[in-house]
Amino acid sequence: MGSKLEGDVYYPSEEVINQANVKNYDDLYKRSIEDREGFWAEQAEELDWYKKWDKVLDDSNKPFYKWYTGGKTNIIQNAIDRHLRTWRRNKLALIWEGEPGDVATYSYHALNREVSKFSNVLKSMGVQKGDIVTIYMPQIPELVIAMLACAKIGAAHSVVYGGFSVEALAERIEDAKSRVLVTADGGYRRGKPTQLKSIANDAMKRSPNIEVCICVKRTGEECYMENDRDFWYHDLMGLPIASANCETEQTDAEDMLFILYTSGTTGRPKGQVHTHGGYSVYTSTTHRMVFDIKDEDRWWCAADPGWITGHSYIVYAPLINGSTVMMYEGAPNHPYPSRWWQMVEKYGITILYTSPTAIRGLMRFGDAWPKRHDISSLRLLGSVGEPINPEAWKWYHKIIGNEKCPIMDTWWQTETGGFMITPLPVTPLKPGSATKPFFGNEVGVVNDEGKEAKAGEEGKLVIKNPWPGMARTILNDEERYVNTYWKNYEKQGWYEAGDSARIDKDGYIWVIGRIDDVIKVSGYRLGTAEIESALVSHASVSEAAAIALPHELKGNAIHTFVILKAGETESKELAEDLRNHVASEMGPIAKPETVKFVDGLPKTRSGKIMRRVLKARALGQDEGDLSTLEE
């Protein structure tokens, strides 16, 4: 491993090294940088193609890079179809446990039947290649089936996280111009049924372009179904049109697979566009190499499929790699804080991938809960979503991993499709650092002019090259794609991530956090703009600002500042009412911790709210450069 590394370092054991799919990071990294296209061609060879590509990377129209042009593949060809011709046909693809304790399992064969049937249902509803179907569901198998069915027929899906609410859903339906919505009556969370269909009903009132709404019956709670618009999933799946035979559409490598919205600095959420070919290659390669995937593994990514983590690492990458995927519907501590450990034991989970927030939340309940279960099947652990504090890392390593499971702290984004900075199992680890770039990637920490920061110095995180999993554009808004990610380092051709970071003497990357107006609450990404517009949509509010302040469990919490309309009076009740209003418009995760009534907000002369100043004041820190502050 060469010279000694600085700081708190955890070296991999012999056992981990011996079984690792990739044993030498440095050599392969060097090769992947010297011949990036060669590396990515080799990885693409691992997959099936209807027709091989003509060109690995087409960079003739920067920054609109294209990968595997001329190639034909549908992600389903690799995630399902190819397994049906091997022994994996009868391997479990999905093990699902509902919060109440109900269980469902699907072999690859069974999954294929359900996906084919639903593909035919969608076709019978007029869904065609290129259409965007919005999916708003709890964590149930039908969510995965609906996503895969869209992909199979060449339609794109737009999954809206089931924890979002009316306005967030309506806005996303409208932006995608979806005609078809797939939803459910509800799901279970902390022992209670949620009311998804009634939120969907309100959203459909606000964005009337939905012509067909397909609803899964999960909880059996009563809900309003509109004649000729709303249909029960199980009714349609019982009809003769829902045949279990369906040809997979032979899509082009660059055809749209899905869009997924991210919250941005201003205005509407951005629909990140991902495509069949590059995304298939990138997600499956990162999953196979970083999590050292073997056929015997039972893989559990405890995220929600409604976010990119779930798209890439619950659904697509593990299925392409022929893994058995675990999925759980509900809260980690329901009915007891041992729920997860009980499932690890019951299903023999070998790899667990989750977020620092979940780890901190479970750590709070103490060591006795995990110790009550035999979780020795675990051989690798993962973390994603925000920086992991060393204390939580060490607890995870010692108590969950029994000091034998390396922790893969993976840095990436909705925009990147898959892991960008990450260790491999053989990488010496430093708690809190995502360590090194994945193969093919060159990462920099730079100042505004693009000059590299010195070792240990903070700067802006950039990626210096294209990669196959990158988002191709923002739906209907190419200009915004260029301005958000590529404008500041146009000369260099670098991708700007929106995070700050530092790189230490050993070349280890330490991500610090967002530097734009994105707030990470419990690892979930929210835009200040969306929270502020939810506040302003309340009858009493004239202006609002939202900022993030550190929070022990959630990483960050939302704090808001509100200017009331003339004639309105401040009160505790109104503050409470405003918090609830944000929760019902956006979703419970967006509920502000505090609402503070103010007479004015710090603004630049051009009228932009200076959230940085609000934050510094709240933390009692130096307010920094105030030269642009309005009088």
Interface ranges with ligand WT7 (CB under 6 A): 262, 308-309, 384-387, 409-414, 434, 497-499, 511, 513-514, 520, 525
What minimum distance in Å lies between the beta carbon of 513 and ligand WT7?
6
Q: 70 vs 3, 57, 131, 254, 533, CA distance in Å?
A: 45, 11, 22, 9, 43
Closer CB to ligand WT7, 514 or 596, in the complex: 514
Q: Give 72 or 268: the residue with its C-beta nearer to ligand WT7.
A: 268
For ligand WT7, give the closer residue by CB, 107 or 357. Answer: 357
Q: Taking the complex as a whole, how short is the minimal distance between the CB of residue 66 and ligand WT7, in angstroms?
A: 22
Distance CA 301, CA 399 (A): 19
What's the CA gap between 393 and 388, in Å, rounded?
6
270 sits in which H/E element: strand 270-275
**Residue number with CB closer to ligand WT7 (134 or 262):** 262
Question: For ligand WT7, which is the closer residue by CB, 210 or 407?
Answer: 407
CA 358, CA 15: separation in Å to the nearest integer?
Answer: 28
| Closest CB to ligand WT7 among residues 169, 420 | 420
Q: What is the largest CA-CA distance in the chain?
A: 72
The distance of closest approach from Cβ of residue 591 to ligand WT7 in the complex, given in angstroms and rounded to an integer, is 18
Least distance (Å) between residue 463 CB and ligand WT7 = 11
Least separation in angstroms between CB 316 and ligand WT7: 14
d(CA 631, CA 628): 9
d(CA 5, CA 423): 15
Nearer to ligand WT7, 337 or 437 (CB): 437
Task: Give the 3-state secondary structure of residue 146.
Answer: helix
Q: How far is the CB of 422 from ligand WT7 (least distance, A)?
A: 8
CB of 432 to ligand WT7, least distance (A): 9
Helices H / strands E in the chain, number of each: 21, 27
Dist CA 442 CA 145 (whole Å)? 36
Least spacing, CB of residue 559 vs ligand WT7, in Å: 19
Q: Which two tokens stand for residue 12?
A: 């991999």
- Smallest gap from Cβ 629 to ligand WT7, in A, equals 27
Phi, psi of 40 (to 5 degrees): -75, -25
Question: Which is it for the CA torsion 615, 619, 620, 622, positive or negative?
Answer: negative
Say what the alpha-carbon torsion angle 115, 116, 121, 124 is, to the nearest 10 degrees: 140
Write phi, then psi, for 217 (nearest 5 degrees): -90, 110
Cα–Cα dist 489/478, whole Å: 17
CB closer to ligand WT7 out of 178 and 416: 416
Burial class of 287 by CB neighbour count within 10 A (0 to 12, 13 to 18, 19+): buried
Q: Is the dihedral of CA 161, 167, 171, 177 positive or negative?
A: positive
How far apart are CB 423 and ligand WT7 at their closest, in Å? 10
Residue closer to ligand WT7 (CB basis): 219 or 410? 410
Write down the least CB distance from residue 302 to ligand WT7, Å: 13
CA 551 – CA 554 distance, rounded (Å): 5
For residues 434 and 595, which CB has a smaller minimum distance to ligand WT7 in the complex?
A: 434
Cα distance from N-terminal residue to C-terminal residue, the chain: 57
* Torsion on CA atoms 293, 295, 296, 301, rounded to nearest 10: 50
The angle at the Cα of 354, spanning 348 to 356, to the nearest 5 degrees, equals 135
> Of 515 and 575, which CB lies nearer to ligand WT7 in the complex structure?
515
